[in-house]
Amino acid sequence: MWRITNFRRLASVKVNIIYCGVWDHRPKFELVQSQILDEFGADKVNVSGKAHMNHSGIFNVLVNDQLVHEKLAGDGHVDNDAKLNRIFQAIDDAL
């Protein structure tokens, strides 16, 4: 019989951030990632990012595969509390 002594619960919400690799938006990704993890913790949210080299200016945030922020559709960068709170609300709704 197997006994699990160091069980770590997997994060229940998946956040994917797709950002522009052409213009090096990695620092913007890392900032949003840290803000999300500070708010919810790694035990509840898994935040991953991917640089997109073929689409200049992209910065999309998906919560459980639902698009909640799209820079090129008019949302801009996640550069104020209102935009960040909209992402937080989507994560809260998914928990």
Q: What is the pLDDT of residue 61?
A: 98
In SS3 terms, the chain reads as: CCCCCCCCCCCCEEEEEEEECCCCCHHHHHHHHHHHHHHHCCCCEEEEEEEECCCCCCEEEEECCEEEEEHHHCCCCCCCHHHHHHHHHHHHHHC
- 3-56, pLDDT tens digit by residue? 444 444 567 999 999 999 988 899 999 999 999 999 999 999 999 999 999 888
Q: Would you say the pTM of this structure is higher than 0.75?
A: yes
